[in-house]
A and B are shown apart, each in its own frame.
Chain A
């Protein structure tokens, strides 16, 4: 059975690049890969998701409801929206970032207040990471949140670190590579710390 990873966020947050990086890394590790994406939302602020599947002989490019082992999100509302794709026992990795959609900005709807808390309670394995603070404290632009969260995902997969670096060097423009490598490492460390903490607290 292939490993299924869904990325979700807001247009412009770099969902498509995360998909491409994971596809590249998984292929480098010897897996058959398939991914699917929807274009056009990138600069127009709509909800974006991307699917990545890797394993042996992957057929469909689209992940079925309730069958994603990992749901990696760059924004809280989009995590709640994408939740139906997560499998029982699957892991949610979410950046604790809020971006108001147009109806909220216009005062016609409310951004739910308790999304992060609800996600933590509803999902058995949920890592909600304060990506914004981590990136800011290291002087890395917030637009690298996609690679930060990919780093967090990498702590759960058994790919070699060099595989990830090769993928980033292949797909990220040279003038952006340094902050992205740093963002990846920060995200990976954050996830490793969270995993260790959960293990210590027995949960």
Chain B
């Protein structure tokens, strides 16, 4: 087989194309963003799109699978939170053509607001989850996921992490499949989840999970590598590579299907060895399941960290007592930190300078502009999730009316479209009087300058309808809507001061294209 060096995300895109998938929808989010970009570039026959947010993206993909075509949705870990509502009920209804959800987690929070462990979603929503341990496995596991989805009538999640998604390795290829389209199902008992139907479908789902538990025990996605009888290690995803490097003599159970877990294989390993270890990143997801089977775990999260990503050094230290030695001396001088910062000349810097000058409390949001919280800008005081800035700003005013005159919400254009509009509706509907500043740089910048519904171009660069953010604000009922280009026009700070002082809702759209557009 001809192999090429591919990024993990590119390997996923190849697997998507080789599966005969016809629809792919997602929202940009590190470390998942390159998947949809690669699909768009290399598989022009696939309808690939950025949706406004991950919930819509999953719904688009599900609608495609219902209409008879294999479909995929792609997102980062916190994106699955946004898509979780439909996920739970899609699990009850099942699919028509296969549906795969690719979820890219971020242990170590290289670029995320948390490092939640999305394996819990598989257990909670009752869907199978696969975890590739390399880019080549990522390509293959996507295809296996589609097969499982159709064979067992369920959505399937493929979970990546940064060290798979953003690693490069040799990846093979296979001919593209061409699954026959399926007819649209007229079956409301299966697909319309009123309570009466839902109760039936829940029982069906429980039976599906029982079948999948048996699949987990016999599938080659999980692999028992029996060797030493001294110690056995259960490990999944990239942790398997760290174990392979540091514990070459131990027996290993490599988990590729992490939900349902292969109970029989776990028992076989436990019987073969004197002591059992579990090596997994983040939460003791596998470890707690093993203990619940009544099997003792001699080494797990008591020695391995729950926070941050794992690596071979940590595994070697925990399992073999070997600590990495400092080979070269520490420098005799301090190393000033070099953190990411707003590009020199970024127009957002002017907004933060004005906010700081006006000494306002700033409810912030997610994007390049989050860097405004750091020096030398120092003008953002909260940030937690997409769109939170607007609702939080309203909530503060409800607790203390004076906050509306002392604070603002700051949100980017893509973020506003993703989850800020509903917050603005709340602000107007529930009689807030605050000020929302939309930072409109005409792109989704932090993730690499993707288009969104407000840029007038699709993922493929085709011209399309362009959401008019000022019109949206007016349609929501905001009367004070102001638009300013802070580089071409004066008076930004004065404008902010006026709008904050005004005892009715205001939206200021600060619009200037990102400096880096048209440079890549």
Residues of A in contact with B (beta carbons under 8 Å apart): 10-11, 19-20, 23-24, 27, 32-41, 43-47, 58-62, 64-66, 77-78, 80-81, 83-84, 86-88, 101-104, 106, 109-115, 118, 122-123
Contacts of A114 in B (CB 8 A): 333
Interface centre among A35, A44, A80, A87 (most CB of B within 10 A): A44
Q: Is B502 part of the contact surface with A, judged by Cβ < 8 Å? A: no
Q: Which of A11, A40, A80 is B335 in contact with, Cβ under 8 Å?
A: A80
Chain B residues numbered 302-326 whose CB sits less than 8 Å from any CB in chain A:
311-313, 316, 324-326
15 A/B residue pairs, CB under 8 Å, sorted by A: A20-B5, A32-B170, A35-B169, A38-B110, A40-B446, A45-B340, A45-B343, A60-B244, A64-B311, A83-B328, A101-B339, A111-B336, A112-B331, A114-B333, A118-B333
Chain B residues numbered 322-350 whose CB sits less than 8 Å from any CB in chain A:
324-329, 331-343
Q: When A60-B241, A84-B326, A86-B327 are in contact, do A35 and B167 touch as well, CB less than 8 Å? A: yes
Contacts of A34 in B (CB 8 A): 134, 167-169
Q: A59–B245 contact, CB under 8 A? A: yes
Q: Which of A44, A60, A86, A112 is B341 in contact with, Cβ under 8 Å?
A: A44
Cα distance A13–B333 in the bound complex, in angstroms = 24
Contacts of A35 in B (CB 8 A): 5, 167-169
Q: Is B375 part of the contact surface with A, judged by Cβ < 8 Å? A: yes
CB distance from A15 to the nearest CB of B (A): 13
Q: A118–B338 contact, CB under 8 A? A: no
Q: A61–B238 contact, CB under 8 A? A: yes
Q: B336–A19 contact, CB under 8 A? A: no
Q: A46–B339 contact, CB under 8 A? A: yes
Q: For B33, give the chain A residue with the smallest CB separation.
A: A39
Contacts of A33 in B (CB 8 A): 5, 168-170
Q: A122–B339 contact, CB under 8 A? A: no
CB distance from A65 to the nearest CB of B (A): 4
- 4 pairs of A and B residues whose beta carbons are closest in the complex: A46-B340, A61-B167, A112-B333, A44-B340
Q: A123–B168 contact, CB under 8 A? A: no
Q: When A45-B338, A87-B327 are in contact, do A60 and B166 touch as well, CB less than 8 Å? A: no
Cα distance A86–B481 in the bound complex, in angstroms = 56
Q: Is B163 part of the contact surface with A, judged by Cβ < 8 Å? A: yes
Contacts of A39 in B (CB 8 A): 30-31, 111, 166, 448
Q: Is B179 part of the contact surface with A, judged by Cβ < 8 Å? A: no
Q: When A36-B163, A101-B338, A111-B336 are in contact, do A64 and B313 touch as well, CB less than 8 Å? A: yes
Supplied contacts A83-B331, A84-B326, 20 more A-B pairs, CB within 8 Å: A11-B340, A32-B170, A36-B167, A40-B111, A44-B340, A44-B343, A45-B338, A46-B338, A59-B245, A60-B311, A62-B312, A77-B338, A80-B331, A81-B335, A83-B328, A84-B327, A101-B339, A102-B338, A115-B333, A118-B331
Interface centre among A34, A35, A43, A115 (most CB of B within 10 A): A43
Cα distance A115–B134 in the bound complex, in angstroms = 38
Q: Which of B162, B328, B368 is A122 in contact with, Cβ under 8 Å?
A: B328
Cα distance A81–B339 in the bound complex, in angstroms = 13
Cα distance A94–B162 in the bound complex, in angstroms = 28
Contacts of B335 in A (CB 8 A): 77, 80-81, 112
Contact with A along B443-462 (1 / 0, CB 8 A): 00011100000000000000
Q: Is B401 part of the contact surface with A, judged by Cβ < 8 Å? A: no
Contacts of A23 in B (CB 8 A): 5, 168
CB distance from A53 to the nearest CB of B (A): 10
Chain B residues numbered 156-187 whose CB sits less than 8 Å from any CB in chain A:
162-163, 166-170
CB distance from A42 to the nearest CB of B (A): 9
Contacts of B375 in A (CB 8 A): 102, 106
Q: A77–B342 contact, CB under 8 A? A: no
Q: For A46, give the chain B residue with the smallest CB separation.
A: B340
Q: A40–B110 contact, CB under 8 A? A: yes
Q: For B168, give the chain A residue with the smallest CB separation.
A: A35
Cα distance A66–B338 in the bound complex, in angstroms = 22
Contacts of A104 in B (CB 8 A): 336
Q: B331–A102 contact, CB under 8 A? A: no
Cα distance A91–B326 in the bound complex, in angstroms = 16
Interface centre among A36, A37, A118 (most CB of B within 10 A): A36
Q: A41–B168 contact, CB under 8 A? A: no
CB distance from B164 to the nearest CB of A (A): 8
Contacts of B404 in A (CB 8 A): none
Contacts of A101 in B (CB 8 A): 336-339
Q: Is B121 part of the contact surface with A, judged by Cβ < 8 Å? A: no
Contact with A along B240-270 (1 / 0, CB 8 A): 0110110000000000000000000000000
Q: Is B516 part of the contact surface with A, judged by Cβ < 8 Å? A: yes
CB distance from B403 to the nearest CB of A (A): 31
Cα distance A65–B317 in the bound complex, in angstroms = 12
Chain B residues numbered 393-450 whose CB sits less than 8 Å from any CB in chain A:
446-448
CB distance from B29 to the nearest CB of A (A): 11
Cα distance A113–B241 in the bound complex, in angstroms = 41
Q: When A11-B340, A40-B30 are in contact, do A118 and B242 touch as well, CB less than 8 Å? A: no
Cα distance A11–B166 in the bound complex, in angstroms = 16
Contacts of B326 in A (CB 8 A): 66, 84
Q: B376–A109 contact, CB under 8 A? A: no
CB distance from A94 to the nearest CB of B (A): 13
Cα distance A62–B169 in the bound complex, in angstroms = 12
Q: Is B371 part of the contact surface with A, judged by Cβ < 8 Å? A: yes
Q: A47–B30 contact, CB under 8 A? A: no
Cα distance A19–B338 in the bound complex, in angstroms = 21
Chain B residues numbered 167-223 whose CB sits less than 8 Å from any CB in chain A:
167-170
Contacts of B342 in A (CB 8 A): 44
Q: A118–B332 contact, CB under 8 A? A: yes
Cα distance A137–B342 in the bound complex, in angstroms = 32
Contacts of A46 in B (CB 8 A): 338-341
Cα distance A61–B324 in the bound complex, in angstroms = 18
Contacts of A110 in B (CB 8 A): 334, 336
